[in-house]
Amino acid sequence: MIKKIYFLGYSKKKTRIINFLKKNFIVKTLHNKSLTPSSAKNADLIILFGYNKIIKKEILKITKRPIINLHISFLPYNRGAHPNFWSFVDNTPKGVSIHEIDQRIDKGRLLFRKKIKFKNIKKQSFKSTYNILLKEIEKLFFLKINHILKGDYTSIQFSSKGSFHKKKDLPKTLKNWNINILKFLKNYKK
């Protein structure tokens, strides 16, 4: 039975998920602090959302159940950093995914995902599409939380390679996330 949830990553200013979980569970937020072995042992469930640290192999071995990650890409595409940006630059599917954590970055077993089609892309910026994806991953999480809590899901391993980017891959020409996507892409050279 799930009683204590550890939430790592975004604060409650950035996501509604924390307050949602606090209605029914003891929730400890660690934001971007490292997950310690004692924390990992104490948690009935660990959820990552916007967490930018690698979970150590030793910690993965001692959790009560797999750690869950919320990722704003349609996995296996755009694993790693800045997934929304790369979905436009690489012209890959856009979406949101919930997956289990393993030792590889954003390659753990997939629980749920949803493709997203942006409306009126001519007027969208990287920031506006990012905000849409944040709302979409929250909606998917709220829709699937009971399945996650009960372990009532069938996880699958990705069948395709997808794509991956590191923080350092972000081009220096991107000065402002509010830039119109199509305007940026028109002038962008790989």
Beta bridge partners of 95: 115
Q: Which residues pair with 110 in a beta bridge?
A: 99, 156
Q: What is the average pLDDT across 49-57?
A: 91
Q: What's the pLDDT at 159?
A: 75
What's residue 1's pLDDT? 81
List the domain range (segments joined by +) for residue 64. Answer: 4-187
Instruction: Say whether 164 sits in a helix, a strand or coil.
Output: strand
Condensed to tens digits (0 to 9), the pLDDT of residues 143-179 reads 999 999 999 999 999 877 899 999 999 999 999 999 9
pLDDT in tens, 114-152: 999 999 999 999 999 999 999 999 999 999 999 999 999
Find the mean pLDDT for residues 86-107: 94
Phi and psi of 79, rounded to 5°? -70, 155
- Mean pLDDT of the region 77-95: 97
Give this prediction's pTM. 0.94
Res. 52 pLDDT band, cuts 50 70 90: confident
pLDDT, residue 160, reads 76
The percent of residues above 90 in pLDDT, for the chain, comes to 84
Q: Which amino acid is at 31?
A: H
Nearest to 37 by CA among 66, 69, 61, 59: 59
- Give the 3-state secondary structure of residue 31: strand
Type and span of the H or E element at 145:
helix 126-150
Handedness of CA 26, 27, 33, 36 (dihedral sign): positive
Q: To the nearest whole percent, how much of the chain has pLDDT over 70? A: 100
- The number of folded domains in the chain is 1
Structure token digits, residue 58: 């030793």
> How many Å apart are CA 74 and CA 86, to the nearest integer?
11
CA distances from 31 to 52, 109, 118, 124, 128 (A): 10, 23, 29, 29, 23
Rounded CA-CA distance 23/10 in Å is: 18
With 80 as the cut, is the pLDDT of residue 184 above it?
yes
CATH label of the domain that carries residue 12: 3.40.50.12230
